[in-house]
Amino acid sequence: MANSKYEYVKSFEVEDEVMLPNLIVVRIDGRDFRRFSEVHEFEKPDDERALNLMNSCATAILEEYPDIAFSYGFSDEYSFVFKKTSKFYQRRASKLLSLLVSLFSSVYVTKWKEFFPEKELKYPPSYHSRVISCASIEVLQAYLAWRQNDCHLNNLHDTCLWMLVKGGETENKAHEFLKGTQKQQKNELLFQKFHINYKNLPAIYRQGSCIFKTKVEENVKYSENGAPVKRHRRKARIFHAENIAGRSFWNEHPSLLKEVGGFTEDADKIKLEYVRFFQFENKLMPSTWIVIRIDGCHFHRFSEVHQFEKPNDKQALNLMNSCAVAVLQEIPDIIFAYGVSDEYSFVFKKDSHFYQRRASEMVSVTVSFFSSMYVMKWKEFFPLKELKYPPSFDGRAVCYPSDEICRDYLAWRQVDCHINNQYNTCFWMLVNKKGKGKSEAQDYLKGTQAREKNELLIKEFHIEYNELEPMFRQGSLAFWEKEDITLTDENGAPVANSHKKVTVEHCDIIKPNFWEAHSSILESETHLTIKTKQSIDPSPSSSEVAMSSTTGQVIKCKAAVAWEAGKPLVIEEVEVAPPQANEVRVKILFTSLCHTDVYFWEAKGQTPLFPRIFGHEAGGIVESVGEGVTDLKPGDHVLPVFTGECKECRHCKSEESNMCDLLRINTDRGVMLSDGKTRFSKNGQPIYHFVGTSTFSEYTVIHVGCLAKINPAAPLDKVCVLSCGISTGLGATLNVAKPKKGQSVAVFGLGAVGLAAAEGARIAGASRIIGVDLNSSRFEEAKKFGVTEFVNPKDHDKPVQQVLAEMTDGGVDRAVECTGSIQAMISAFECVHDGWGVAVLVGVPNKDDSFKTHPMNLLNERTLKGTFFGNYKPRTDIPDVVEKYMNKELELDKFLTHAVTFSEINKAFEYMLHGKSIRCIIRMDA
């Protein structure tokens, strides 16, 4: 086949081979299966039919791929273990995880009616998948023990939860009741209150299911006298065992010993928490175009079995296009797709943070959803054809650093489309019209050039190649396009409106014409509407930014001005000047009240600076930018941050620091850096800024280095709280303390920052989260954030560090201090375990305080660390924190206890001062 000048783009593909002797495990997890199970009304806590459907899908995987020796699954997940000598697809991680998740998804949809004949499949399921590279048989053993332990713990908890709900409790109360309970307590609850012996529940619920092939005797034929002729065959069978990682179970099955290996000791002697470090993870390079290309697996055979028309089956191509459109609608970060035959390439926006740019997640979700959709839509395009077996696709992710290279990639695919289609058209005309055999037709076309093929089509078959359908010759493009529509108001008058829709076209993307006509496609985020999804009764006026009429002009808007210390804020009309060099003017849509605002408003212990506009936790949209600003443009969604990231100083260039020399927080400065002037005024009187943000104003001006550009799909009324305290506490745990799964964490102070630190411990998988606070009433609220135990130092006649050491057999593994009390800081450090304990200081002490501890505490290998803003770099890291929320890893709703309109902003201060709120959201346009 001829090469094109675009072939060079293949050099950007990176090999991801899992090297021998590592054992390969591919784990598949349901994507948002809680919602899927609710929509499809699965039985709680366990739906046996749903579990059997999962087992049937896993069995199909083992039957299809002989290189898989063993699988284990429960709930909505399955893990597949490959033979130790497997060279399946050259052990390429992307191939393995995408093929398995694709086939699993297709089989799930195909078999749905077999298990749920009375239920309609309301939307296609999709799954994540990843590769775990087990460096030894012991790692595999620990991995299997970990997964089965999770099965048991999750099912025990869910059984208790749903029995409580069936007994009349609300789901929230049932969750609160179970928080902090141990296994024995849950077993006693089930037995005493519901007369359920947990051990008597079906094994499929408690133990999960493992599937592997064993020798079975089957009748293969019958002799002349009618006697059955039996043969031994290897067939996938389902087992339920109490300990799948135990030597006894493994030794009972010689095939496992031979194909995978044997265990030398029992899993209860192995630490499980380290297994997660063996995940084969590839985080894709930032600020590059990510292209995920999927290809049909053995589609030559698939097309023959399903009798697709040759050389092109229009319905089959339209089915592929329909699936691609669905993928774009499902994953907003995809801005363009190009498809031909049985392949499709999906282009993610350059600044996408979809799944934190983890290749395995991005590839698997895209391939899985496409595969499920293909099966669901089959009857729509082939109403008279039965789907004889489920299709599968493989996928890979490749990064392209520039617009030009990304376009060259797409041009390469379109050149291939033309070359392949021209060849196939000639080939099938020779076979179908001239009666040539397939080998004869191949020989005939060998070595022919494009011109010769065109002449063949014209002379022999009277076909002008360039007049064939564009979809056949040029492939298909799917992309977002603005559509203008006309609606009518309540009086019947026409009202112009517009919305985005996915369009499918068939045209030349090699020449510049298409890109010039659609210049916004490869411009970061301009394909997205600047409407923001909000959950507090949004109106058009609050989610649209009228940029063209205000750029470069003074804006008059409402602001909550603090004229004196401690006096109620006053809603005033103020003037906001245009942004100067390296500044950005932002329309604030939602803001939140932080304790720091209250502290400086009260002016206790610092030099008063009034009149002033407070506020520093917020979410908004860029209205205009000043000279030199290239990272942001009007319409971008941003979170202001009280500290900055200039990206030029030694701290910003260091991976070990987030303390920018230029933009480090300065609470005394009430003016902008560039000229020492304020951008706010009222009737000529200057009004001071606060920490460079001043978000208690409908419009504000902020240094570009203090703005984090975020996913425009993120709800600003939720993620605005990530601008300060929540990120500080979260990062203190995840970035600095870094607890491992199963470890214990003590959190000193259960205010907003402390609760965020507890949330970080929950995300990290801490087994015990001990809250320490002088206010015992905070414990109930803290349970929502994963706190399992509570200690009030006032309840004990000994130092709290001694209490904690006695509770935890020598000390907690990690401690996070969030009060600012010097005694709490000392206690946090001295309560961690010697040898490996880490204490992290977050609170800010009084300037005259000094930290005193015996040096032996350090010599005994306790570690003391401090952190500022959770060690997050605002522009680099906060977008990733937002994605944690978007991917449901981080829960924010429980922090949001109150909401008020802008005119009611003083109520937010009352809630904070009376200890009623964690975070109160202030809606600016109400």
The two tokens of residue 907 are 């109520």
CA-based nearest residue to 139, from 252, 30, 245: 245
Is the Cα torsion angle 194, 198, 202, 207 positive or negative in sign? positive
Per the listing, tokens 């959190």 go with 747
Per the listing, tokens 């004229």 go with 563
CA distances from 231 to 18, 211, 213, 228, 786 (A): 37, 21, 15, 10, 56
Per the listing, tokens 């020449």 go with 511
Partners of 340 in beta bridges: 343
Sequence-ordered list of residues with C-beta below 8 angstroms from that of 790, at least 6 positions apart, any chain: 770, 771, 772, 773, 776, 779, 782
Sequence-ordered list of residues with C-beta below 8 angstroms from that of 248, at least 6 positions apart, any chain: none
Nearest 10 degrees: CA dihedral of 435, 437, 439, 444?
A: -20
Rounded Cα distance, 885 and 715, in Å: 10
CA-based nearest residue to 838, from 830, 846, 847: 830
Q: What letters, b where the CB count within 10 A reaches 16 and e where it falls short, cover 880-904?
A: bbbbbbbbeebebeebbebbbebee
CA distances from 763 to 148, 304, 756 (A): 20, 49, 10
Q: What letters, b where the CB count within 10 A reaches 16 and e where it falls short, cover 836-847?
A: ebbbbbbbebee
Q: What is the DSSP letter of 740?
A: P
Q: Which amino acid is at 739?
A: P
Q: Which parts of 349-431 are beta strand (E)?
A: 393-400
Identify whether the C-beta of residue 713 lies closer than 8 Å to the C-beta of residue 886. Answer: yes
Q: What letters, b where the CB count within 10 A reaches 16 and e where it falls short, cover 799-812?
A: ebbebbbebbeebb
Orientation of helix 822-830 relative to helix 800-807, angle to 10°: 30
Identify whether the C-beta of residue 574 lies closer than 8 Å to the C-beta of residue 561. Answer: yes
Residue 295: other Cβ atoms inside 10 A:
16
CA-based nearest residue to 555, from 632, 654, 624: 624
Rounded Cα distance, 317 and 476, in Å: 9
Where do the H-state alpha helices sit in 603-702?
Answer: 650-653
Tell me the CB-side half-sphere exposure of residue 817, using CA atoms within 13 A.
27
CA distances from 11 to 7, 287, 400, 405, 409 (A): 8, 19, 10, 11, 11
Kind and range of the H or E run holding 701: strand 699-703
Partners of 130 in beta bridges: 27
CA-based nearest residue to 473, from 421, 428, 512: 421
DSSP, residue by residue, 748-805: E--SHHHHHHHHHHHHHT-SEEEEE-S-TTHHHHHHTTT--EEE-GGG-SS-HHHHHH
CA-based nearest residue to 102, from 56, 61, 71: 61
CA-based nearest residue to 367, from 397, 394, 399: 394
Residue 48 φ then ψ, to 5°: -60, -35
Name the residues annotated as catalytic: 594-596, 616-617, 646, 649, 652, 660, 664, 724, 919
DSSP, residue by residue, 453-492: HHHHHHHHH---GGGS-HHHHH-EEEEEEEEEEEEE-TTS
